[in-house]
Amino acid sequence: MAEEDFTIVVLCGAVSPEREVSIRSGAACADVLKAMFPRVELRVLDENVLPADLDPARHIIFPVIHGDYGEDGKIQRELDARGFAYAGCSEASCELCIDKVSTKEKMRAAGVPVTQDVVFTAKNRPQAKSLVRRLGREIVIKPADKGSSVGLFLLAGTRAVKRALAKIREGKWIAEPRLYGRELTVGLIGGVAGGVVEIRPKSGAYDYRSKYTSGATEYLAPAPLPEFVAATIRSEAEKIFEICGCRDYSRADVILMPDGRYFFLEVNTMPGLTATSLLPKSASCIGYDFTALVRKMISPAIRRFGVEI
């Protein structure tokens, strides 16, 4: 079987708060793949359903769908059920990692440093005073199963916490102490850590706007860190990739405190692939330009399809 015998289908879009970013990521990947392979299609999904006309005997799937449907294991379940070869993490690892609570439990059990937290649902919200008493005056509240800083609250004081809690109407949430340190991230390519990237949002908060507005954030790749610190963080990221059952690629976020302690925050199984995205920056530190990275990301799926490249 040769490259002419399959078509790579890049799936993006779908219905989620991260649809716009997904479309941008998908278009960037498709453009690169078209220069490498003879048959590439870009499909923008308008609903969270795998297109019926896709054929596992002809199509290799590159899902680039952030948030709902792409990162929660649902599209992976459909792909597995229909027998597709596809790029990225499996259903099980996506289901695990989209849930920040479950991911932190895995990391904590493996000895990876994580912050303390309070987990709650919209129907069982804690009292603001109790949160401040347990976590401190400055608190982060975020959905337990969303990405790209969707629904993120950065709060200071009981009144602010009380107002934020009143706005929560549905879902599962996690509250953590707000940590002031250096925001770092590490991309994993085939389980191997890329460089540590430092994130310096000009607004002071790495929220949705800071992530996806050109020029709103400064990125240092690699981060200016002592070598032993960078090596330790990269090693821990590789451990997280393994314990969370990740496959092909992922990204782990971490914060480094002024006293040298560090805490891993979460794992992203469907990292962004836009001009401002972090996985390409991390990969560039170990010699991958964007073209080489995308080829590395799709190659395992091509092998699973039955073609050696």
Which pLDDT score, from 0 to 100, does residue 45 have? 97
Query: For residues 98 and 151, which has the higher predicted lDDT (pLDDT)?
Result: 98
- Is residue 171 scored above 60 in pLDDT? yes
DSSP string, the chain: --GGG-EEEEEEE-SSTTHHHHHHHHHHHHHHHHTT-S-EEEEEESSSS--TT--TTTEEEEE---STTTTSSHHHHHHHHHT-EESS--HHHHHHHH-HHHHHHHHHHTT------EEEEGGGPPPHHHHHHHH-SEEEEEETT--TTTT-EEEESHHHHHHHHHH--SSEEEEEEPP-SEEEEEEEETTEEEEEEEEEETTSS--HHHHHSTTSEEEESS----HHHHHHHHHHHHHHHHHTT--SEEEEEEEE-TTS-EEEEEEESS---STT-HHHHHHHTTT--HHHHHHHHHHHHHHHHT---
What mean pLDDT, rounded, does the chain reach?
A: 93
Lowest mean pLDDT among 35-39, 150-154, 221-225, 288-292: 150-154
- Is residue 111 scored above 60 in pLDDT? yes
61: amino acid identity, one letter: I
User: Mean pLDDT across the stretch 266-280?
Assistant: 90
Domains delineated in the chain: 3-88+299-305 (3.40.50.20), 96-113+180-291 (3.30.470.20), 118-177 (3.30.1490.20)
Which pLDDT score, from 0 to 100, does residue 53 have? 96
Which pLDDT score, from 0 to 100, does residue 67 have? 83
Condensed to tens digits (0 to 9), the pLDDT of residues 113-148 reads: 999 999 999 999 999 999 999 999 999 999 988 754
Lowest mean pLDDT among 51-55, 249-253, 304-308: 304-308
Which pLDDT score, from 0 to 100, does residue 211 have? 67
Which pLDDT score, from 0 to 100, does residue 1 have? 54
Sheet (strand 40-45) strand order? 40-45, 7-13, 59-63, 85-86
Condensed to tens digits (0 to 9), the pLDDT of residues 210-221 reads: 666 777 889 999
Contact 277, 12 (CB under 8 A): no
User: Mean pLDDT across the stretch 222-233?
Assistant: 97
User: Mean pLDDT across the stretch 61-71?
Assistant: 93
Which pLDDT score, from 0 to 100, does residue 5 have? 85
Distance CA 262, CA 193 (A): 17
Confidence of residue 2 (pLDDT cuts 50, 70, 90): low
Which pLDDT score, from 0 to 100, does residue 308 have? 78
Query: For residues 157 and 16, which has the higher predicted lDDT (pLDDT)?
Result: 157
Which pLDDT score, from 0 to 100, does residue 274 have? 80
Confidence of residue 202 (pLDDT cuts 50, 70, 90): confident
Condensed to tens digits (0 to 9), the pLDDT of residues 143-160 reads: 988 754 567 899 999 999
